Amino acid sequence: WSRIFPDGLGKEINEQGVAFYNNLIDFMIEKGIQPYATLYHWDLPHNLQRTMGGWLSDKIVEYFALYAEACFANFGDRVKHWITINEPIQTCINAYGIGIFAPGLCKGVSAEPFLAGHHQILAHAAAVDVYRRKFKAKQGGQVGFVIDCEWAEPMSDKMEDQAAAARRIDFQLGWFLDPIYFGDYPESMRQRVGEHLPKFSEKDRELMRNKIDFIGLNHYTSRIIGHQPNSQPQEIHFYQVQQIDRTDKWSSGEAIGERAASEWLLIVPWGIRKTINYIVKKYENPIIYITENGMDDEDDPSAPVDQFLNDTKRVNFFKGYLGSVAQAIKDGADVRGYFAWSFLDNFEWAMGFTKRFGIVYVDYKNG
């Protein structure tokens, strides 16, 4: 976004930015690679944050639609698969709740993460609306929305634990998909978030209705979920209202899966099958792409390269997860594609170069 419209307002396009993406897209196609383009992967133009509070302002919906239209016009003759927004929950919670992602807001205002999410849903719908009205007939592409979700496995057969696990999924998938498919947020969110959860107008509902061609699922891990009536005071409001006990161990002490390098990433291949099948059942078997799935190694500058290249753990990870995706397809899921995260070791957001997700090792020192 900031490369196409540095000020975010859609008034003056950056031709150098357009040329950059044209060259990249043309090169990919020349090499036989079909481009899947994400419009927003957290690169908010600073001017929009500075002047109107970024995703906290309803004005951003219009500006995002202008940006999307410029991309469709310049690249849509070659790009046939568009993703509007990547992992909106991360922007909402980590950027406008906890404050560990840009713009780093942590004001303790319970409504702000939900307001940011509200505007991202409407921005997605506005972008799809522009595409269908102005470009789809000629370009024939599809526009989707990428949601990240860890599977929530109930801690026990107790009804309260089953309900807690379902609630956890509502606060991940349902938050962003239910408005598009059903016109409103999940009832579990309405009950627990209350007045902090914005309301959709009839105009909003009309804009959102069926504004999705595919669901992109980013999935890495799973957790065991039980009911926890007493919220922890150190948790932010988003987690407090869910009333869940989120753990990586069963009551026996056995871990749900082997840990990768990151503390949050437990290797649980069967979780992706359950997540896909949940989406199939609730959202009437939509087209699904697995848009991110992978695991990380700890970067150790002193370790010999051979240690990284003997990559048995990652090989087993992908065997397990791809096998579970294949099982979901046999179950009836319409999964059209799979993207590993990541092709190369990269600058992994707040973790920088300390974690290596690449299936290809990158020598940072010697290029």
Residue 277's closest CA among 317, 318, 330, 319? 330
- Which of 69, 87, 150, 348 is an active site residue? 87
Would you call 258 a catalytic residue per the annotation? no
CB 121 within 8 A of CB 88: yes
Q: Which amino acid is at 79?
A: V
- 87 catalytic, yes or no? yes
176-180 CB contacts, 8 Å cutoff, 24+ apart: 176/88, 176/89, 176/117, 176/120, 176/121, 176/145, 176/147, 177/145, 177/147, 177/212, 177/215, 177/283, 179/121, 179/208, 180/121, 180/124, 180/125, 180/145, 180/208, 180/209, 180/210, 180/211, 180/212
Positive or negative: CA dihedral 109, 116, 152, 254: negative
First-residue to last-residue Cα distance in the chain: 28
Catalytic residue, from 69, 153, 292, 348: name it.
Answer: 292
Extract the tokens encoding 138.
């000629």
**Is the distance from CB of 61 to CB of 122 less than 8 angstroms?**
yes
Cβ atoms of 43 and 55 within 8 Å: the answer is: no
Q: Other CB atoms closer than 10 Å to residue 321's CB: what's the count?
A: 25
CA 362 to CA 319: how far, in whole Å?
Answer: 22
Whose CA is closest to 88, among 210, 173, 211, 183? Answer: 173
361 contacts: CB under 8 Å, gap ≥ 6: 305, 308, 309, 345
> What distances in angstroms separate CA 336 from CA 102, 222, 227, 332, one per listed residue?
32, 23, 35, 12
Spatial neighbors of 121 by CB under 8 A, at least 6 apart, are: 88, 176, 179, 180, 208
Catalytic center residues: 87, 292
